Structure 1
């Protein structure tokens, strides 16, 4: 499933995959391991000007409703510059102590004149493959 949002001329697409525990781990380690998902994000600049991704803001909620806020500069150590009609993709991951949850957030960009603007990241589910998706 692809989650997608467009705001301020920036299209953000997210694909999620569950990373199962390593079967080579002892059974006790597999039980204690957090549930882990990889997410793959593509950012498309559909505007007519150059933009730069400056910061990220994530709201991560586990299956019990506990929330963690993650903020920082750029993504995966970069603050990419996107020309008009250019795309940027990256992958990252999220561990949770529960078998389900969700992530949402936004990126702060600057246009060529240095004016900041916010682009929404679509809310996406973190569910085990056999679970029913509950968001979007």
Structure 2
């Protein structure tokens, strides 16, 4: 998984300046409200990952999707959509009803993935500020989804 997170960080760094790069430090996934899901191939190799930072104290309880990455060799197999669906199912198990994310406008493939998964644009959330390198999205989850 560390390889996937490093590749995700490298991609973000290639697209955005430091002030517009919000890739999550892998150490942040060690906290009690941090969750990581990894998709593995038949040989056990990590093909994709997705992170969730739960914010259970707010109403509605929500989580932030972070570090969505699928290795180039695994792209085209709808692995990104499957990772998002697994994250959403896990979020519901945690009692979260809204998933939010920050992505960048210079990554159209990511934006299309999120739109295909049902995410819509919204304003900044949490500690984010509006800026030219950020696009904010969210999706309300249904318990029977």
How does the TM-score come out when normalised to structure 2? 0.29
The structure with the greater share of residues assigned to strand is 1
The structure with the greater share of residues assigned to helix is 2
Computing the radius of gyration from Cα coordinates, the structure with the larger value is: 1
